[in-house]
């Protein structure tokens, strides 16, 4: 059986925990064939992004056409786009129907705090998205207002969905570092995500996974959604599966010592501890226990 093709349009992470490298791992783990369009080269590790070298919009366009003309994807995800020219090029491809089942992960800031995108670039692409997966900070930047607790996350998901994407997931697993309430994530109710389906908003809750190995959770979450869409899932099922997948990947990597900062996830279930996250299929109402990048 020929595997379905999934395309990622994103930046490179030399530490391989996020970006293009994480996306391709997720695609492979879920049985899809991953292709890629590189938007930037970064020099980074588990501690910091040391340098960013952007790829020109012309080169991004050339890569994209080379892939889609020969290996048409069944789903596409975007991550770090970098600047408005690249975003305009990708949005043009989406407008022309080259990016089916588009999942937009509006990457703006890395786990270490480095700026990886601008709001204006993301706004060019959101009207073409089937699914958008901002975390709280990204939703706040796009909307121009604070997004803190579950009620504000739900309202942000509704507002973003009204602006273009058919489905929006505002993820909140980063609450443990946010100081929103005394007691951190437990006071917040664990890891909470707001999933807007267009007609309703569901709050998806999971227990917090205590680990510093959270690098690439946002990338992995959106990549898993894209992979499952390519494999035939409807969006709600793809979101549920992706959330369970990321939870298991966090559980599997929670005691790893890869790097001394925010380490990567267990994308392939190498650790037996991943089994504690549940079965191999989607779980209704489940959610990722962290959504940092």
Identify the helix (H) or strand (E) that includes residue 52.
strand 49-54
Q: In the sheet where 191-196 sits, what is the strand order?
A: 49-54, 33-44, 5-13, 75-78, 102-104, 131-132, 167-171, 191-196, 201-206
- Binned at pLDDT 50, 70 and 90, residue 282 comes out as very low
Residue 179 pLDDT exceeds 90: no
Q: SS3 of 118, please? A: coil
Least confident of 102-116, 135-149, 268-282: 268-282
pLDDT of residue 292: 39
- Domains in the chain, ordered, with CATH? 5-277 (3.40.1190.20)
Residue 181 pLDDT exceeds 70: no
Q: How far apart are CA 64 and CA 98, in angstroms?
A: 9
Q: SS3 of 46, please? A: coil
> First CA to last CA across the chain, in angstroms?
33
Residue 206 pLDDT exceeds 60: yes
Residue 265 pLDDT exceeds 90: yes
DSSP 65-79: HHHHHHS--SEEEE-
Query: Residue-wise over 254-271: b if at least 16 C-beta within 10 A, else e?
Result: bebeebebbbbbbbebeb
pTM of this prediction exceeds 0.75: yes
Residue corresponding to tokens 């925010």: 262
Q: How far apart are CA 263 and CA 211, in angstroms?
A: 9
- Pair of tokens at residue 99: 């990016």
Give the pLDDT confidence of 58-71 residue by residue, as tens digits: 999 999 999 999 99
Identify the helix (H) or strand (E) that includes residue 93.
helix 84-95
Residues 6+ positions from 17 with CB-CB distance below 8 Å:
46, 215, 216, 262, 263, 264, 265
Q: Pick from 1, 5, 71: which is nearest to 227 by CA?
A: 5
Residue 222 pLDDT exceeds 70: yes
Q: How far apart are CA 138 and CA 52, in angstroms?
A: 20
Query: Following CA atoms 63, 68, 73, 78 in sequence, which dihedral angle do they give, to the nearest 10 degrees?
Result: 30
Q: How far apart are CA 133 and CA 144, in angstroms?
A: 17
Q: How far apart are CA 250 and CA 210, in angstroms?
A: 9
Reported residue count of the chain is 293
Residue corresponding to tokens 């050339």: 62
Residue 112 pLDDT exceeds 90: no
């Amino acid at each position: 059986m020929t595997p379905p093709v999934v395309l990622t349009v994103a930046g490179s992470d030399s530490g391989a925990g996020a970006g293009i490298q994480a996306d391709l791992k997720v695609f492979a783990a879920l049985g899809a064939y991953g292709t890629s369009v590189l938007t930037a080269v970064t020099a980074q590790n588990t501690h910091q992004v040391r340098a960013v070298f952007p790829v020109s919009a012309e080169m991004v366009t050339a890569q994209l056409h080379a892939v889609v003309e020969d290996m048409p994807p069944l789903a596409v995800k975007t991550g770090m786009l970098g600047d408005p020219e690249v975003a305009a090029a990708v949005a043009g491809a989406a407008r022309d129907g080259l990016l089916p089942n588009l999942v937009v992960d509006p990457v703006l800031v890395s786990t270490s705090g480095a700026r990886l995108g601008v709001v204006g670039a993301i706004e060019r692409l959101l009207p073409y998205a089937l699914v958008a997966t901002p975390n709280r900070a990204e939703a706040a930047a796009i909307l121009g207002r604070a997004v803190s607790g579950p009620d504000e996350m739900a309202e942000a998901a509704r507002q973003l969905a009204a602006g273009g994407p058919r489905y929006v997931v505002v993820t909140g697993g980063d609450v443990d570092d946010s100081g929103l309430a005394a007691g951190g994530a437990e006071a917040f109710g664990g890891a909470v995500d707001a999933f807007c389906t267009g007609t309703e908003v569901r709050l998806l809750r999971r227990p917090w996974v205590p680990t510093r190995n959270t690098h690439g959770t946002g990338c992995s979450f959106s990549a898993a959604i894209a992979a499952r869409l390519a494999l035939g899932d409807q969006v709600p099922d793809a979101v549920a599966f992706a959330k369970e997948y990321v939870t298991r990947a966090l559980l599997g990597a929670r005691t790893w010592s890869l790097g001394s900062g925010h380490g990567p996830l267990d994308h392939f279930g190498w650790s037996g501890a991943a089994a504690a996250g549940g079965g191999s299929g989607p779980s209704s109402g489940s959610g990722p226990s962290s959504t940092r990048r």
